[in-house]
Amino acid sequence: AQSVSQHNHHVILSEAASLELGCNYSYGGTVNLFWYVQYPGQHLQLLLKYFSGDPLVKGIKGFEAEFIKSKFSFNLRKPSVQWSDTAEYFCAVNKPNFGNEKLTFGTGTRLTIIP
């Protein structure tokens, strides 16, 4: 079965620390990759996405992610986190197939930033 794995369930960092959240998927072939974020009390919103082209994708709020096809990975990074980055982060994947656009989400990583 197709799956998306986020191995870090809860990450705690101090402000200004660097962040890397792991995401691995089990699909073969062409994929679309996403990171969504859910801030406390808010609904999910798109952080960044990769469809094709440059495997290093830049998103909002200083986040970036790198698609490494050989490793089936799409890790999320930020060089210096802020307290406002406290949120739950979800990696998601779909296989482009017109009429079957379903996203599969990972289990999420809760990020807590300590001031």
Partner 1 sequence: NAGVTQTPKFRILKIGQSMTLQCTQDMNHNYMYWYRQDPGMGLKLIYYSVGAGITDKGEVPNGYNVSRSTTEDFPLRLELAAPSQTSVYFCASSYSGVSGANVLTFGAGSRLTVL
Residue ranges binding partner 1 (CB under 8 A): 6, 9, 32, 34, 36, 42-46, 49, 51-52, 90, 94, 96-99, 101-108
* Cβ closest to partner 1, residue 11 vs residue 17: 11
Which positions ≥6 away from 86 have C-beta within 8 Å?
A: 39, 40, 111, 112, 113
* Cβ closest to partner 1, residue 36 vs residue 78: 36
C-alpha–C-alpha distance, residues 38 and 86, integer Å: 9
Query: Minimum CB separation from partner 1 for residue 102, in Å?
Result: 6
